Amino acid sequence: MVKYKRILLKLSGESLMGEKQYGIDEKRLGEYAQQIKDIHGLGVQIGIVIGGGNIFRGLSGTSKGFDRVKGDQMGMLATVINSLALSSALGSLDVKSRVLTAIRMEPIGEFYNKWKAIETLEAGEVAIFSAGTGNPFFTTDTGSSLRGIEIEADVMLKGTRVDGIYTADPEKDKTATKFKEITYDEIYARGLKVMDLTATTMCKENNLPIVVFNMDTVGNLKKVIMGEEIGTLVHN
């Protein structure tokens, strides 16, 4: 029995780089697609938001002289490129998917609305939500929170390069310890950077739990879906 029937999976754009310095690592993309296929075969309804940091990040562009709004729009387009790549990889595994965009750009993707998204999920297709919220100044974490709430997901699964939430950055502080679970209020109190505050607050106010786990370890996504206690659960 699966623990979650409908999920919002947030994938990191940076993780898509794999061993590369930029762009998309085809091996990592294929691993992600296979993991998604594995849980799709269990009957899980899957919505996905993927970042664009492997191609362009609006905030970093601003520090180099880009206008913030245009920089964020470039970042949104980067998420569309990643979404198309993931959709193509899923198609090669005979998993049907549909790319929905927050900005009109037919025929690249269909314009997003909640009912079309839910219809897609209930038809057994993977729904890939691209272009963030369609607005500047909002991250793809906030886009994930928004889409997860809209599609009435049971949980947001945040796939990262680390295996959960720690007291400090485990890559910098070897004494950092991992939380098995943590409340939203404790995240605020400790000043932990799980997601940006807007995204965290949206999940808290709408009672959407988050599981932070290492997506780069093949098989972890299925373990989370089956209820194994890997990663960190965030809840009210």
| Domain with 46 in it | 6-235
The answer to whether residue 197 is domain-embedded is yes
pLDDT score at 61: 65
pLDDT tens-digit readout, 37-96: 999 999 999 999 999 999 997 777 677 778 999 999 999 999 999 999 999 999 999 999
Contact call for residues 5 and 154 (beta carbons, < 8 A): yes
The answer to whether residue 184 is domain-embedded is yes
pTM comes to 0.95
The answer to whether residue 157 is domain-embedded is yes
Say how many domains are in the chain: 1
The answer to whether residue 106 is domain-embedded is yes
105: pLDDT strictly greater than 90: yes
The answer to whether residue 172 is domain-embedded is yes
Long-range contacts of 24-29 (CB under 8 A, 24+ apart): 24/54, 24/82, 24/85, 28/216, 29/85, 29/86, 29/89
What pairs with residue 127 in β-bridges?
47, 98
CATH number of the domain to which 187 belongs: 3.40.1160.10
Q: What average pLDDT score do residues 216-220 get? A: 95
d(CA 131, CA 100): 9
The answer to whether residue 81 is domain-embedded is yes
pLDDT score at 14: 92
pLDDT tens-digit readout, 67-84: 999 999 999 999 999 999
The answer to whether residue 1 is domain-embedded is no
Read off the pLDDT band of 171 (50, 70, 90).
confident
